[in-house]
Homo-oligomer: A and B are copies of this chain.
Amino acid sequence: MRWARIEVNGEPTFAIVEGDQLAAVTGTPFGDYQKTGDTVPLAGTQLLPPVIPQTFYCVGLNYLAHILEQAERKGIEPKVPQKPDTGYRLQCALTGHENNVEVPVGAGERIHYEGELVAVIGKKGKHLSQEEALDIVFGYTIGNDVSARDWQYGDNTMWRGKNSDTFKPMGPWIETDIDLDALETVVSVNGEETLRFKTNEMLFGVAEFISTISQNCTLQPGDVIWMGTDGTSPNLVDGDVVDININQIGTLTNKYVWDK
């Protein structure tokens, strides 16, 4: 089952993807909901981020090749995490499928994509074992952890290097039926493949992160955990279109547009 979010009469509204149509609902997919009977065609309808999380977790370093390449880029020894310490991001940066990533003036030349699997939490959870962890996952979507490396490495925090408006595209929808081990992430720039990796070959998997986070932080319906990325990105330029495809979920597409 696929869950999207759209605007209906000016209000954000959850909608079920039914073939080439979107069926609007009242309520949320995490609790009670009811179809309103209204449908709109999927084609041409602007999709919102499929959820705005109360808490926005995002793992920084979770694939070996990405860690080695980041270290080389910074000119430092690679440091492979020995335990699953999650990072986090700002909700202000979220945007939907097919919205533009707007790159602010002064962000530098190293504007990158990071294609990520996103676990969407469906039930409240605290002190979960790894065996219990996946029971609270509602489904999965795709995230692009857009990064301005000059700011990321030059500032005291990652506030604007990772969290400027539109730097966190998420979507196009949440898919509830996923076989994690069968997933492959493919990133393309202007239709040319630039990166391909087995999505679930993480240092620490979804169950391990959920279990770890839940020892200290109560996970809530609608919370998201972005699972990190492998590989690297070329320096993107004005007008580049980035597709992040994860089989079984779909493709998250965003054009990068430079502010003038």
Contact = CB atoms under 8 A, between A and B. Distances in A.
A163 to B, nearest CB: 6
Interface stretch (A5-13, A15-23, A151-159, A179-187): A151-159
A61 B88 CA distance: 19
- Give the dominant DSSP class at A's interface: loop
A90 B52 CA distance: 14
A176 interface: no
A223 B165 CA distance: 15
A156 B220 contact: no
A232 B251 CA distance: 49
Nearest to A219: B92
A112 B158 CA distance: 24
Interface in A208-225: 213, 215-220, 223
A160 B54 contact: no
Interface in A36-59: 52, 54-55, 57
Interface string A89-131: 0111100000000001000000000000000000000100000
A92 B157 contact: no
Contacts of A165: 126, 216-218
A55 B217 contact: no
Interface stretch (A24-32, A79-87, A139-147): A79-87
A164 interface: yes
Contacts of A215: 104, 160
A23 to B, nearest CB: 27
Nearest to A86: B159
A60 interface: yes
A223 B159 CA distance: 15
B54 A92 contact: yes
12 contacts: A55-B92, A57-B159, A60-B156, A83-B155, A85-B155, A85-B157, A85-B160, A88-B88, A92-B218, A92-B219, A92-B220, A159-B217
Contacts of A87: 157, 159
